[in-house]
Structure 1
Amino acid sequence: MSDRHDSSPKQTDEHKAINSQRLIEVTESDLPLHCPMPQHVDWNAHPRVYLPIESSGSALCPYCGTLYRLKGKPSGGSH
């Protein structure tokens, strides 16, 4: 009898959906924004980079190309 334990993380459907998105809507509770975000299964895929999203309402990760949009803020707007 083999009692083998798999220590690798299991990807749920929710995690797969989060990781496959290239556009992610975030809220003020996600600020300060950084990529990758903690809920990504591949959270260590590239160095953590903080993204300035507050003024424009959107930010693009220079490493993976994920576009983040701040909910409730017009994208690309100027003051």
Structure 2
Amino acid sequence: MSRHADATPNDKNEYQVTEKDLPLHCPTPAMSLWNSHPRVFLPVTDSGKAKCPYCGAVFVYVGEKHAHH
């Protein structure tokens, strides 16, 4: 998500994330934190999609799927 250096919460409705964004949390490091909500970790690899319960941002995992051990 580093390509969204000026991203802010609710800047977009959907964000694509990859392996390098894991463990995924919202707000992400690329988002402005001064007006954000508390950090919440999101299990995006389980279903391939996760929604932030605070701001409603949707994260779609586009990385390689891993088998559970």
TM-score with structure 1 setting the length: 0.65
Give the share of equivalent positions with the same residue, in percent: 47
Residue 44 of structure 2: aligned partner: 53
Structure 1 stretches of 4+ with a deviation exceeding 6 A read none
CA distance in 1, matches of 2:22, 2:37: 19
Using CA pairs under 8 Å that are at least 6 residues apart, name the structure with larger relative contact order, 1 or 2.
2
Query: For residues 1-79 of structure 1, what are the structure 2 equivalents within 5 Å?
Result: 15=6, 18-19=7-8, 20-42=11-33, 45-72=36-63
Q: Which moved more, 1:19-28 or 1:65-74?
A: 65-74
Deviations 1:21-70 (A, max 9, x none): 11000001100100000101236511000001111000000000000000
Structure 2: distance between partners of 1:72 and 1:57: 9
Unaligned runs of 5+ in 1: 1-13, 75-79
Structure 1 or 2, whichever has the larger Rg, is: 1
C-alpha RMSD of the superposition: 2.0
